[in-house]
Chains A and B, each alone.
Chain A
Amino acid sequence: MAGRFELLSEQGLRLDGRRPHELRHIKCKMGVFEQPDGSAYMEQGNTKVLAAVYGPHQAKGKKTETNDVIINCQYSQATFSTSERKNRPRGDRKSQEFKMYLQQALSAAIKSELYPRSQIDVYVEVLQADGANYAVSLNAATLALIDAGICLNEFVVACTASLSKSNIPLTDISNIEEVSGGPKLTVAALPTAEKIAFLEMSERFHIDHLETVIETAMAGCREIRDILEAAVKEHLIHIGSAADWGRVC
């Protein structure tokens, strides 16, 4: 671990001036498209993601026999999402991997028993990649699912965490911290139930620190959940009030 760059300054601030437990600024918007059943836009620092959900609709082909819902995800990164332009074809390894991770985390949240013989399509596009791409994608996908009126057990949110050289856990790491060589731990969780839906680690660190780093990521998840919940409520109030709650009463 000798080559690792120190992520915390002497004053205890990170490279972008945050404190160790601070999240990046989160901005989100629901119902950004007209065509899909649900859609959302999410910004976490400079990472910007669009998500669209189609369905639940009839599953195509042989899959109709199953009594469970089929969750079909697609993850892609825009050509201009990173500092160097790079044409990323849809089927490359990394996006295939992220796609499976998204499926795994979302299937923990969706109440699949309510949707027999159906399929839900989730499309995620990263417009700007600045670290924690998977986590932000999942958060955007959750918002889009809620916008589509799909039954969920609860919010499924993801957050990343890292460990500085002085063994202080860091929440929500940005791209520069990612490439500076710190370990990266991604946790997707159901925060209220305190269940972990998905966990990934990119580099080794001592097992003694694992618990604190996971707890840091979980704390980040809880914080993100509260932010998302407030955003959902505000969105509902806006679209409900326009029609004087006519569709309700």
Chain B
Amino acid sequence: MSVNATISLALDRVDWNALAGNQEKLPRVFTPGEVLMPEAGFMRGHGTFVEDENIKASVAGVIEKVNKLISVRPLKSRYVGEIGDVVVARVIEVQQKRWRVDTNSRLDSVLLLSSVNLPGGELRRRSAEDEQMMRQYLDEGDLISAEVQNIFEEGTLSLYTRSLKYGKLSQGILVKVFPALVKRRKMHFHNLSCGASVILGNNGYIWISPTKNEDQEGGEGGFAQNLSEVVPRHEREIIARVRNCILALAKCKLMLYDTSIQYAFEESLKYDVHELLQQHVIYDIGEQTQARLRDADE
């Protein structure tokens, strides 16, 4: 069996910065310790602090002004949760009446037993029996989709899955990107026209799965996990292609949302799935997608 290996020279290295070219108006960027403005008459928000009667930036990023509130948003950071965000999370521990889950935020998040739909969909008080059954519902390592319900004082997120669209995830691929790359939109569940479904978690975890039939979806209660069903090869190829496209967009630092993924997918069709891992192909897809997005904006 022969295997083709691609070895590129250091000279042919891709210049990622070329994607940032020809910008007319650049926002002013600030670095930690830089003075934003005098304190008088302004309120300090996230990413700022007051020293010597001046508001200073504490992160590297761009300034955001809402009336008198001044904040600096870093271009990259850990996930900072907001109520109502859709997240994809992994269960790391089963505790008393709650699950501890990882959402890529500063502290581990919790999913309370009272904020999940029990299998069967009945609404009732959670009994001691339910507590003993917790591991049957969600075990360590399981992936779930959920929504942020509440933020505790220290910054711990409390999630809930009391809707049929949330719950345990079964067959698919998880892709991790920087949270800032996922664009906040109304919809984070998308059935792409190419035949894959994506859940764009605000926390930078992205779930790609084969599109399910609509009639199957009702009445699951969020805990059904069908691992025996074989996903046909062409669907798996589509999923792999979507994954590589998402990683390519992330590498090019392009925003991720339904349109950009759709465009990247269409641009990628001229390559084989495995070719999408090569640097110059990634660059090409990024460039084409960026051009199409800019065209669409105008």
Interface residues of A (CB under 8 A from B): 31, 34, 37-38, 55-58, 111, 115-118, 146-155, 190, 192-193, 229, 232-233, 236-248
Known A-B contacts: A58-B106, A240-B29, A244-B294. Give 16 more (CB < 8 A). Answer: A34-B251, A57-B106, A117-B154, A118-B107, A146-B59, A147-B76, A148-B77, A149-B61, A151-B32, A151-B59, A152-B33, A155-B33, A236-B62, A238-B16, A238-B17, A242-B20
Q: List 19 A-B contacts (CB under 8 A).
A: A38-B76, A56-B78, A57-B78, A57-B106, A115-B106, A116-B155, A146-B32, A147-B76, A148-B76, A149-B59, A150-B59, A154-B56, A192-B33, A229-B34, A239-B253, A240-B26, A240-B29, A242-B19, A242-B253
Which B residues are CB-close (under 8 A) to A58? 106-108
CB distance from B79 to the nearest CB of A (A): 10
CB distance from B106 to the nearest CB of A (A): 5
Cα distance, A193 to B32, chains bound together (Å): 12
Scoring B17, B32, B59 by chain A CB atoms within 10 A of each residue's CB, the highest score goes to B32
| Across the A-B interface, the 7 shortest Cβ-Cβ residue pairs | A154-B33, A149-B77, A149-B74, A241-B20, A151-B58, A152-B32, A242-B253
Assuming the contacts A149-B74, A153-B32, asked whether A245 and B27 have C-beta atoms less than 8 A apart, the reply is yes
Beta-carbon contact of B106 and A246 below 8 Å: no
- The closest CB in chain B to the CB of A114 belongs to B58
Cα distance, A192 to B35, chains bound together (Å): 11
The one of A31, A238, A246 in contact with B255, judged by C-beta atoms closer than 8 angstroms, is: A246
CB distance from A78 to the nearest CB of B (A): 20
- The closest CB in chain B to the CB of A151 belongs to B58
Beta-carbon contact of B254 and A242 below 8 Å: yes
Beta-carbon contact of B26 and A237 below 8 Å: yes
Assuming the contacts A58-B107, A149-B78, A229-B31, asked whether A247 and B26 have C-beta atoms less than 8 A apart, the reply is no
- Let me know if B206 is at the binding interface, CB within 8 A: no
- The closest CB in chain A to the CB of B297 belongs to A244
Assuming the contacts A146-B60, A245-B62, A246-B255, asked whether A236 and B75 have C-beta atoms less than 8 A apart, the reply is yes
- The closest CB in chain A to the CB of B22 belongs to A241
CB distance from A148 to the nearest CB of B (A): 7
- The closest CB in chain A to the CB of B72 belongs to A151
Cα distance, A192 to B31, chains bound together (Å): 12
Which A residues are CB-close (under 8 A) to B78? 37, 55-57, 148-149
The one of B49, B77, B253 in contact with A153, judged by C-beta atoms closer than 8 angstroms, is: B49
Beta-carbon contact of B154 and A232 below 8 Å: no
CB distance from B187 to the nearest CB of A (A): 17
CB distance from B256 to the nearest CB of A (A): 10
Which A residues are CB-close (under 8 A) to B290? 242
Which B residues are CB-close (under 8 A) to A155? 31-33
Cα distance, A116 to B107, chains bound together (Å): 9
- The closest CB in chain A to the CB of B109 belongs to A58
Beta-carbon contact of B33 and A243 below 8 Å: no
Cα distance, A212 to B78, chains bound together (Å): 42
CB distance from A38 to the nearest CB of B (A): 7
Cα distance, A239 to B60, chains bound together (Å): 12
- Let me know if B2 is at the binding interface, CB within 8 A: no
Which B residues are CB-close (under 8 A) to A37? 76-78
Beta-carbon contact of B106 and A237 below 8 Å: no
Assuming the contacts A118-B106, A236-B61, asked whether A154 and B32 have C-beta atoms less than 8 A apart, the reply is yes
- Let me know if B23 is at the binding interface, CB within 8 A: yes
- Let me know if B47 is at the binding interface, CB within 8 A: yes
- Let me know if B181 is at the binding interface, CB within 8 A: yes
Binary flags per residue of B21-62, CB closer than 8 Å to A gives 1, else 0: 101001101011110000000000001010100001011111
- The closest CB in chain A to the CB of B107 belongs to A58
- Let me know if B198 is at the binding interface, CB within 8 A: no
Q: Which of B73-95 contact A (CB under 8 A)?
A: 73-78
- The closest CB in chain B to the CB of A111 belongs to B58
Beta-carbon contact of A247 and B29 below 8 Å: no
